[in-house]
Structure 1
Amino acid sequence: MEAVLTIENLQVEFETFGGSVQAVRGASFQLFKGETLAIVGESGCGKSVTSNAIMGLIPNPPGTVKAEKIMFKDKDLSTFTKKQFREIQGKDISMIFQDPMTALNPTLTIGEQLTEGLKTHKKISSADVKKKAIEMLNLVGLSNPEDRLKQYPHQFSGGMRQRIVIAIALICEPELLIADEPTTALDVTIQAQILELFAEIQQRTGVSIILITHDLGVVAKIADRIAVMYAGQVIEIGTKRDIFYNPQHPYTQGLLNSVPRLDLMEEELKPIDGTPPDLFAPPPGCAFAARCPKAMIVCNKVEPDTTAINEFHQVSCWLQDPRVKQ
C-alpha cells in the first residue's frame, strides 16, 4: 500500500514557567492512501498536538517540534518553513477543527470563508469559484446552496456549521484530511449523518483521513486502523479488528472495558484507576506502569520496545516482549 504520511519519532515540547512539557514523546505511525486512521486516547495524551505538528500549527515559541521525519508523500514536513507550510495548508493537507462555532468567523459570510482557500491556492475565475462552492455545499448535504453562501454562521444549526467546516476543509481537494474530534459537539443523530458523510466523501475523492477522537463508537464505525496514544506516545496500533478483538496493551484493554455495553448491562463499568503521568517529568519506564494491574519490575525502570504482533499490529509493552516471554 502507498503511504501518504510517515511519521518517525515525533517529539513536541512546550516551554512554560514551570519547565518543559513533553507533550509528544517519540510518536511514530503511517497513514496509507484512501484509509482512515483513528487516533484515540484520554484527553491530554497528545492527539491534537500531533495533528497540529503535522499541519505546522505549533507556535514557536513556546513549542518546539522535532522528528526524524514527517514525510507527506515525498516532502519532509519536519524541514518546512512557515512559508512552505502556507503553500500546502488547505490545499494538500487540510484540517477540521474541534468546535465549528469557533472555527468559523462570525463577521464573514459562509461564501467568503468557503472560497478563501480556492482564491489563495488556485488560479480560477470568480464564476468557477462560486460554482465550486455550490458544488461543495451540495456534497456535504446543505439545501439551497446559492442562498447559503450569503448567510452568516449564526444562521445555521450546529450540524450545519459542522458540514460547512467540512466543506471548507475539502474545497481544494486535499490528499490528507485531519479531523480533530469532528462530532464531539453534535447529538447522536447528527453525529451519524456526519460519519456517513465522511465515508461518502472518502469513497468519492479517495482522501486519506486522520480521525482524532476519544469516542470508540465513532472509531468502530469508520476507522480502518487505530493508533492508541498514552502520555504522548503511540503505545499500540493495528487494524480495527486487532484493537477491538485482540488488544494487547493493558491500557487499550482498559479503554475498551470502560465503554458501556448492552450485553453487560448488569455489570459495573471498570474504570482505569489512577491518573496519567506528569509530562513535566515523565517516568523512566513505561508511562502506564503506575496504573497497570499487570506491571512488572522492569516496567518501572526501562521503556518497552515496539513488538510486532502481526503485519499491521504493533504494541509497546513488556508483557508482549519476546525476551520476557522466554
Structure 2
Amino acid sequence: MLERIHLVIIREVGRQGSLTAAAGVLNLTQSALSHTVRKIEDQLGTPIWDREGRSLRLTQAGQYLLKLANRLLPQFELAEERMKQYAQGQRGTLRIGMECHPCYQWLLKVVSPYLSRWPDVDVDVKQRFQFGGIGALIGYDIDVLVTPDPLNKPGLRFDPVFDYEQVLVVAEQHRLANVRYIKPEQLADEILITYPVETDRLDIYNQFLTPAGIVPKRHKVIETTDIMLQMVASGRGVTALPRWLADEYADRIAVTPVKLGKNGIAKQIFLGMRDADASIDYLSAFVELARQSAGKAPKMRR
C-alpha cells in the first residue's frame, strides 16, 4: 500500500540526488533509508529507481510517483499548517505568487492596508515556482497568483483587478523620446532590457516585435526595476513597463514612456485563486482590497 512517507522519501531523494543526502534531511541513517527504499519497491511490486553506481535514476514508475508527490504533499503540508494555525486561534497565511515583476510595487500598496485590517493573517510572497505560477496554484504552493496571463483551467478562477498600458521606456534624451508612438522596426538597433522571463511570455515580443518579424540588436536581462531604469536613463538600453510604473519612476529618474504602436498595448492584471478557496474570508478580502487599489494604477491612455 502506498503511504505518505513513501512519497516524502521519493520527493526527497529526487531533490537531493542521493540516498546519503536524503537520509541526512530525513534524519535517518543511510542503511535505514536503503532498507525503506527496498521495502517500498517490494510493497509496490516494481522498481522505483535504477541504480547506477552510487547514483539513482527514477524509473517510469518512479517518475510518476515523484509527480504525484509534488502535487499531493504540498496539500497535506498546507492542511497541517492551517490546522495548527486554527488550533492557535490564527487565521492562516496568505501565500501570494507573482508572475508580474513590475507589480511588486503595486502589491506593497495593497499588502500594507491588508495587514492592518487582518492582523491574524500572515503574508508570504513568492516569485519563483518549481512548475510555474499556474502549477504552483494548482499544487497548493500558493493561494493567490498575480498575473497578466490567466489560463482557463478547471478549478481555478481569475478576477481582473486593473487595466494598464504597456509602454516603451527610454532615456529623456533618446532619439525615440519624442515620437508619437514606436514602430517595431525602430527597435532593431536597440538593446532591449527585460525581466528574467521567457521571451514568448514578454508582451514586447509576442504582441509587438515577433508579429513584425523584428528582433532587437541585443536582449539583456536584469532582475530589479530600479537597476533596469538606471541603465535606461544612462542610455544603455530601452525597456517595456506598465505606464503607471514608468510614470512613477519618471518623477525621479530621467526616463520617459512612449506608446508601443499606433493603438498601444492594452493589458490587465488578474488575481488567480482556486475555486475551492473562494469562500475563505481573508482571501476574498484581499481580492476586494486589490480591486479598490486599482485607482492607483492609471489606465490605458489614448
Whether TM-score is above 0.5 comes out as no
Rg (Cα) greater in structure: 2
TM-score, normalized by length of structure 1?
A: 0.25
Task: Give the structure with the larger helix fraction.
Answer: 2
